[in-house]
Amino acid sequence: MNESYDYIVVGAGSAGSVLARRLSDDPGVSVCLIEAGGSDASPRVQVPAGTITLYKSRRFSWNYHSTPQAGLDGRSLHCPRGKALGGSASMNSMIYIRGFASDYERWAAAGCTGWGWQDVLPYFRRSEGNRLGQDPALHGQDGPLQVDRPRDPNPVSRWFVEAGRRLGLPVNTDFNGPSALGVGVYDLTQRDGQRLSSYRAFVAPVRGRANLTVLTGVEVDQLWMDGASVKGVQLQAPAGGAPRRLQARREVILCAGAIGSPNLLLRSGIGPRAQLEAAGVPVRVDLPSVGQNLQDHLDGLVTVRSRSPLTLGFSLGSAWQVLSAPLRYLFKRKGWLSTNYVEAGGFACTPLSEGEPDVQFHFVPGYRSHRGRLFEWGHGYAIHTCVLRPRSRGALRLDAQGRLALDYNFLSDPQDARVLIEGMRLARKILADPVFDGIRGPEMLPGPQVQSDEDFLANARAHAATVFHPAGTCKMGVDAMAVVAPDLRVHGVSGLRVADASIMPVLVSGNTNAPCIMIGEKAADLVRAAWGRTATA
C-alpha cells in the first residue's frame, strides 16, 4: 500500500529543511522530508576545518562535472553539491551573506511580485539568531539559525582586512547591513564553534515530531504523475526490488538544488519537448525553460607562497599547531580545526562598477594550490575573486542517453572576463601591501609575468573555476523563460512547487546559503496560505 503524506519535501538542504520544519509546525498536517544522502553526524561535517575534506567525498558530495567549457580552454569543472542531511550547507564554508537589497528589487522588477527587498527581509530576520548585536531592524535575534563570528580567526586574516583598509576599502563589520562595500571578517552560521546547517538548526530539534517523517539514503527517481498533475514521488528501486511510491495529498515541493531540481523535472518528463524525446523520456509537460538560465560565480585566484607557519599549512614549523589542534578544538573550540578557511573577505567596486560592488573577495590564510590540489605541503595565503553579477548564462540538460549535462557557458559574455580581470588586479594590490612583507613569498598564480589584459584573460581561461553557487535553472517569473510562478508553482503542473536556488531569476550578489534559507521560509508561508493555514509565527 502506498504511503501518504500531506506534503512531501524533496531535499533536506538549506531550503528544504526550513520548509519541512515550518510546515510541520502545524500539527494538523503530515510532512515527509526526503534526503538522498545520509547522516551528517561526522566530525568531517561538524568540525569547521573538515569542510576541505568534503568537496570530493563520495559519501558527502554529488560530484558533478561540467561539460568542456569553451570559454575555459575546454576544461571540465568539478561541481560538488552536498549529499547529506543539510545538503550543501553541510559542506560549505558557513558564510552568512544575504546578497544586496538591489538583487531582490531586480527580482520584483522582473515580475516576481512579493520578492522585493522589503518583502523578503522579514524572512531573513525570522530565521536568524544573531549573536553579534547587529542592527535589530535588519537582523533577527530569536531564530533557529545562529549567526556568529569565527571563534579564532588567523592573524593573517586580520592583515588582509588592514591591507584592504589601506587601499581605501572601508572596514565592514556587517556585510548584511546598509552596505556590503568593504572588507572584514565574515559572519558564520555556527553554534559553539561547530557547523550549523539548516538541518541542524531547523529540523534536528524537532525530528521527534509525530507529524514529521525524515527519510535518508532514499533517492527520488521521478515524480509520480497523472497527466499534468503530481500525485507524489517514485523512489529509486533497490537492487532486485520494486519501486516505492509516496503519495502527496496536497503538494510535492522540490528543494533538491539548482542541479537536482531541474534534473528531477526533466527525468519526470517536464521540460523541453525536443530534448526529452531525444533522451527517450516520455513528455508530460512541454516546459522549454527547465534547466535554462544557469548562473554561477566565476572565480579567479591570486595565491602566494610563504615560509611562515603563521599561515595554515603542513610543515615541520607548523607541527605543533597541527598536533595540538584536536585538543585546542575539543576544549576551547579554537585553533586550526576551528577555521572555515575563508575567514575574511569583502566586496569592492572595480572601475567597471555601476555604483555598487561588482566583485567579492574570499581570503584564505593558507596556500591554495596553483595545481588545483586540495592539499599542498607548505604555507601561503590567497584571495579568491568572483564576479558578483555574471552576464553569462548556461544550461542543464539531458543528453541523448538521458544523462545529465551541465554547461556553465562561462565567459560567453566578455563583460564577465573584464570584471574578473579588474577584480584580480584589486586582489593583487591588496596582497602587495607592506603588512604582508614579513611572510611574503613568490606569487604562484597568476604569476608576476601576468600583467596585461590578454595575460589575465589567458590565465582565467586556464585556471578560473566556480565558487559553487549554481542558481537560476528553474527560474521564477511570468515571462516565457519562467519555470515557476512567484508563488513557486511550476507552470502547467498542479501539485508541484520548487523552492531552492534554482528559482532565482538572477543570481544574488554573494553566497547563496542565507538566500536559500529565506526562500524556504517564504515558501512555507506560500504553501500554508494556499491551504488556508495561518502563516508561521
The residues carrying an active-site annotation are: 469
The residue ranges of DSSP E strands in 408-500, in sequence order, are 443-445, 465-466, 496-498
Q: In this structure, what C-alpha cell is assigned to residue 477?
A: 517569473
Q: Which 8-state DSSP code applies to residue 212?
A: E
Residue 4 CA to residue 462 CA, distance in Å, equals 51
**Residue matched to cell numbers 599547531:** 321
Nearest to 470 by CA among 131, 14, 45, 4: 14
Q: Which residues contact 221 (CB under 8 A, 6 or more apart)?
A: 234, 235, 236, 237, 243, 267
Q: In this structure, what C-alpha cell is assigned to residue 314?
A: 603542513
Beta bridge mates, 404: 398
Report residue 105 CA to chain centroid gap. Answer: 21
What DSSP assignment string belongs to 97-131?
----HHHHHHHHHTT-TT-SHHHHHHHHHHHEEE-
Q: In this structure, what C-alpha cell is assigned to residue 102?
A: 538591489
Longest dimension (CA), the chain: 71
Residue 409 CA to residue 393 CA, distance in Å, equals 6
The torsion angles phi and psi of 105, rounded to 5 degrees, stand at: -65, -35
Helix (H) or strand (E) holding 15: helix 14-24
Q: In this structure, what C-alpha cell is assigned to residue 375?
A: 592539499
What number of other Cβ atoms are within 10 A of residue 118's Cβ? 10
Nearest to 258 by CA among 466, 442, 72: 466
Classify 63 as helix, strand or coil. strand
Q: CA of 470: how far to CAs of 142, 503, 513, in Å? A: 30, 11, 11
